Amino acid sequence: RTHMRPAASQSVDVCVILGSVAGMLLRFASPLNPDVIMVIAFPGDILMRMLKMLILPLIISSLITGLAGLDAKSSGRLGTRAMVYYMSTTIIAAVLGVILVLLIHPGNPKLKARLGEGNKNDEVSSLDAFFDLIRNLFPENLVQACFQQVRKPPEPVFVIKKSLQFKSGMNVLGLIGFFIAFGICMGKMGEKAKLMLEFFNILNEIVMRLVTMIMWYSPLGIACLICGKIISIKDLEVVAKQLGMYMVTVVVGLIIHGGIFLPLIYFAVVRKNPFTFFMGIFQAWITALGTASSAGTLPVTFRCLEENLGIDKRVTRFVLPVGATINMDGTALYEAVAAIFIAQMNGIYLDAGQIVTVSLTATLASVGAASIPSAGLVTMLLILTAVGLPTQDISLLVAVDWLLDRFRTSVNVVGDSFGAGIVYHLSKEELDQLDAQQGKLEDIEMEKTQSYYEDLKNHQENNTNQCVYAAHNSVHVDDCKVSLATNGSPAEFALVEEEPWRLE
């Protein structure tokens, strides 16, 4: 969202309200013709088509440039610890979101919590679903993965054995997995891959400019999406209750993750009171809650960690910018809840493999998502595409996203801050050793400098009024006479006299 603030982002919030109000007013009018509803929602349909068009280039450019650029920064134990923490907490957040949405079941309270009571298109065994997940994670053809996924059919094609088939829909999980590996390998090549990295950086910049242009159109598109959806809903009261339960599920998950899991991880590693640590970053948390921008909160987070908690600048200056790029705990939890919520609303059965796919895609799609304007909307399209869920219901989630965005951003900032504290604790001995080595080097340099000045002083005392040159930097010598000796007649140099000079 940092690319579109402040004007475009504020316009989205205003248009969400306007679209909701317009939809409510039109519901009280006489029943509208389906063609009229289609015309009202048409600008929103164009917005969704444009966003879907950019999914593939977004995956390629953002993942490759983000991970290839991180390798140089993340070399060494400091970077390894930060990456392990970030990926672990993001996975925990996504799994927590899945568990909560299955337990609370906000999508359709009238149904039992068991998802299997929805509409089942195909009966697929758990083993087949798991193997399909692994197969899709390693696509045999990248071009085919852009529009098809592999699956085991629910019944034997032949009497003796089953055969693999392909179903329509982008293999998002496989593409994300490949380009993550591609970016990491490119980063490890260093200077050899510099030209290729510049190409993807330019591609990423072009795609981001396209997305930014689309985001300026998004207020109109989102307003029309919401208005058309509200008009077409048959039972608005039931949907409103479902949205309320959905918001409760997300907020409860964010509170559990940011208020319980992250402090527990900090306490388990650092053995210090995590709530004392949280009070030190309270101002950064409030700022994130108000701005809904992790990048915009960075200056405040730097100050809180360095001044209030005394964390080494070498840690904060590395961990926080990297965390703002790849550590999206709140976003991963939100995306997992939202995807399964949409399935529940439509009574769609999700098997175990699809639920795991939601968790993995939410985790992997959050890598580099901070660089995407309106990241929540774009990555939500990724996840829905990965499991074949309808995308038209995103308009309902956008209506409440402006509020949830602030909560999940604040959790992202808290996660980055706890990560900095944990990495600093684990790296403290190494930092102290570096300081000691640096101190020894400075002492050696100081001794050399003092020795130079002592030698120079002794030399000056032994060579009074003579010009001395020594192979030292910035050597100051007493004033001395410089006589100009010439072979010509003194008359030719009438204006030249012996002058005092200072040599430096």
pLDDT grade for 320, boundaries at 50, 70 and 90: confident
What six digits make up the tokens of 251?
A: 């907020």
Arithmetic mean of pLDDT over the chain? 76
Which tops the pLDDT comparison, 455 or 140? 140
Whether residue 99 has pLDDT greater than 90: yes
Residue 111, pLDDT score:
47
Phi, psi of 119 (to 5 degrees): -80, 120
The CA distance from 293 to 331, in Å, is: 12
CA-angle at 483, arms to 477 and 489, nearest 5°: 165
Residue 45 burial by CB count (10 A; 0-12/13-18/19+): exposed, middle or buried? middle
**DSSP for 262-312?**
HHHHHHHHH-S-HHHHHHHTHHHHHHHHHH--HHHHHHHHHHIIIIIS---
CATH of domain 7-433: 1.10.3860
Tens digits of residue pLDDT in 482-502 = 444 444 444 444 444 444 444
User: In a 3-state reduction of DSSP, which class is residue 241?
Assistant: helix
Whether residue 117 has pLDDT greater than 50: no
pTM exceeds cut of 0.75: no
Whether residue 252 has pLDDT greater than 50: yes
Least confident of 24-38, 106-120, 164-178, 284-298: 106-120
Residue 475, pLDDT score:
46
Whether residue 318 has pLDDT greater than 50: yes
Least confident of 249-258, 391-400, 415-424: 391-400
Percentage of the chain lying above the pLDDT 70 cut: 74
Residue 220's nearest CA partner among 457, 39, 482, 43 is 43
**DSSP for 420-489?**
HHHHHHHHHHHHHHHHHHHHHHHHHHHHHHHHHHHHHHHHHHHSTTS----SSSS-----EEE----SS-
Whether residue 428 has pLDDT greater than 90: no
Residue 461's nearest CA partner among 478, 447, 474 is 478
Averaged pLDDT, 164-179: 74
Averaged pLDDT, 84-96: 92
Which tops the pLDDT comparison, 88 or 235? 88
Percentage of the chain lying above the pLDDT 90 cut: 18
120: DSSP letter: -
The CA distance from 297 to 479, in Å, is: 58
